[in-house]
């Protein structure tokens, strides 16, 4: 278990996490493509149930219904990243490049260079707060991509995994580069809707099991929508097995479940004191997925 008092556990204040413990169904996505209900078992499976598309060592890509691919990874942080980059090289290149262009135009108010520079500055602020194990995973991915002839770098992967925080903070009351001056408060714009997590249990479900569903109300390019994936991960360097829906190149999505049946979905929340000085939501998600075995544990991690 990581040191819960370490600086890297400081959370960016944008996302609120709905954390639910119990049995779960698979979450949906903004693309309308939803994994089958058996998807939570992905995290604990050693052998595939669907068609195998590609293999690399103990890792493999499995075809799921509705055009979704399950990416099974097993090993330490660096090994999992290398497997990921090897198995999904083309998908990562296509998704990352199109997605970064979209976000740069948004964050730069239609000025690509301005937006890319803001994303870069946000990445530089956040990097020091990211747990070393997750930086190792991104380095493994970058090394695999380089070995396969890709021009993507570690910095590109890091920006892709922090761009969501930059994107959300861009419309907030403070800048990506710095916090608000001490004591200053600026009202956030009114909430206009977004992602949603729903939980049902007891008499509301057949058999009384808990069912968790999540919609991701999210921007996505056509290239991103072509490659919906579920990461099914078995760490060998500590932590629990877990699954999380994602886009290629993200080392975690913003919802998921682990084999202790701790599930969460992330929604936007509003604050007048926001900062890029924190781990960011993809990495907070990974801390929950790998290390939380109860609601109390999840609260302590955050």
Nearest CA-CA partner of 127 in 139, 109, 111: 139
CA-atom Rg of the chain in angstroms? 18
Tokens 């089958």 belong to residue: 36
Looking at the structure of the chain, the number of domains it has is: 1
Sheet with 52-56: list strands edge to edge.
15-21, 262-268, 255-258, 242-246, 229-235, 69-75, 59-63, 52-56
Are the C-beta atoms of residues 18 and 267 closer than 8 Å to each other?
yes
Across 35-49, 86-100, 113-127, 277-291, least confident range:
35-49
Using CA atoms, how far apart are residues 83 and 145, in angstroms rounded to an integer? 10
Q: Which residue segment(s) compose the domain that 62 sits in?
A: 7-301
Any domain includes 1:
no
- φ/ψ (deg, to 5) at 20: -130, 130
pLDDT at 143 (0 to 100): 98
Please report whether residue 236 resides in a domain: yes
Question: How far apart are alpha carbons 201 and 109 in whole angstroms?
Answer: 44
pLDDT for 111: 92
Is a pLDDT exceeding 70 seen at residue 183?
no
CB 132 within 8 A of CB 237: no
Rounded mean pLDDT, 160-183:
65
Residue 2 inside a domain? The answer is no
Residue 5 has pLDDT above 70, yes or no: no
Average pLDDT of the segment spanning 13-32: 37
Within a domain: residue 181? yes
Q: How many CB atoms lie within 10 A of CB 31?
A: 19
- Residue 81 pLDDT > 90, yes or no? yes
* pLDDT given for residue 169 in this prediction: 73
pLDDT attached to residue 190: 57
> Which pLDDT does position 167 carry in this prediction?
80
For 132-162, write each residue's pLDDT tens digit.
Answer: 999 999 999 999 999 999 999 999 999 999 9
Three-class SS state of 300? helix
Give the pLDDT confidence score for residue 1 in this predicted structure.
38
Identify whether 291 is part of a domain: yes
Under the banding of pLDDT at 50, 70 and 90, the label for residue 86 is very high
In this structure, are residues 245 and 35 in contact, taking their beta carbons and an 8 Å threshold?
Answer: yes
Give a yes or no: residue 141 inside a domain.
yes
Compute the distance between CA of residue 279 and CA of residue 158 in angstroms, rounded to an integer.
12
Model pTM?
0.80
Phi, psi of 54 (to 5 degrees): -150, 155
pLDDT digit string (tens) for 235-291? 999 999 999 999 999 999 888 889 998 888 777 666 666 677 778 888 988 999 999
Question: Residues 118, 107: contact at Cβ < 8 Å?
Answer: yes
Question: If DSSP codes are grouped into helix, strand and coil, which group holds residue 282?
Answer: helix
- Domain-located, residue 232: yes
Compute the distance between CA of residue 220 and CA of residue 66 in angstroms, rounded to an integer: 18
Higher per-residue confidence, 37 vs 242? 242
Q: 192 in a domain, yes or no?
A: yes
Residues 184-230: pLDDT tens digits? 555 555 555 667 778 888 898 888 887 877 776 677 888 888 998 99
| pLDDT surpassing 70 at residue 33 | no
The mean pLDDT of 7-18, rounded to a whole number, is 30
Q: At 54, list the tokens.
A: 């590609």
Give the DSSP H/E element, type plus range, for residue 169.
Answer: helix 163-170
């Amino acid at each position: 278990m990581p040191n819960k008092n370490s600086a890297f556990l400081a959370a960016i204040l944008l996302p609120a996490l709905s954390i639910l413990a119990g049995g779960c169904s698979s979450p949906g996505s903004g693309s309308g493509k939803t994994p089958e209900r058996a998807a939570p078992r992905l995290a604990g499976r050693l052998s595939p149930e669907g068609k195998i598309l590609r293999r690399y060592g103990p890792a493999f890509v499995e075809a799921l219904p509705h055009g979704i691919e399950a990416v099974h990874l097993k090993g330490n942080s660096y090994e999992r990243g290398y497997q990921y980059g090897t198995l999904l090289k083309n998908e990562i290149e296509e998704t990352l490049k199109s997605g970064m262009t979209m976000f740069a135009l948004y964050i730069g108010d239609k000025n690509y260079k301005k937006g890319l520079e803001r994303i870069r500055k946000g990445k530089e602020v956040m990097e020091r707060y990211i747990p070393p194990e997750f930086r190792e995973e991104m380095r493994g991915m970058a090394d695999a991509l380089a070995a396969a002839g890709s021009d993507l770098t570690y910095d590109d992967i890091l920006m892709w995994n922090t761009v969501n925080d930059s994107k959300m903070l861009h419309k907030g009351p403070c800048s990506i580069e710095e916090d608000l001056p001490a004591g200053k408060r600026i009202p956030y714009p009114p909430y206009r809707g977004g992602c949603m997590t729903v939980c049902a249990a007891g008499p509301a479900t057949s058999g009384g099991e808990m069912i968790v569903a999540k919609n991701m109300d999210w921007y996505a390019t056509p290239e991103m929508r072509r490659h919906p994936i579920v990461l099914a991960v078995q760490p060998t360097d500590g932590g629990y097995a877990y699954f999380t829906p994602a886009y290629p190149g993200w080392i975690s999505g913003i919802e998921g479940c682990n084999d202790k049946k701790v599930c969460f979905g992330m929604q936007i929340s509003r604050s007048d004191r926001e900062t890029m000085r924190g781990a960011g939501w993809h990495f907070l998600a990974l801390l929950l997925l790998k290390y939380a075995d109860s609601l109390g544990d999840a609260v302590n991690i955050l």
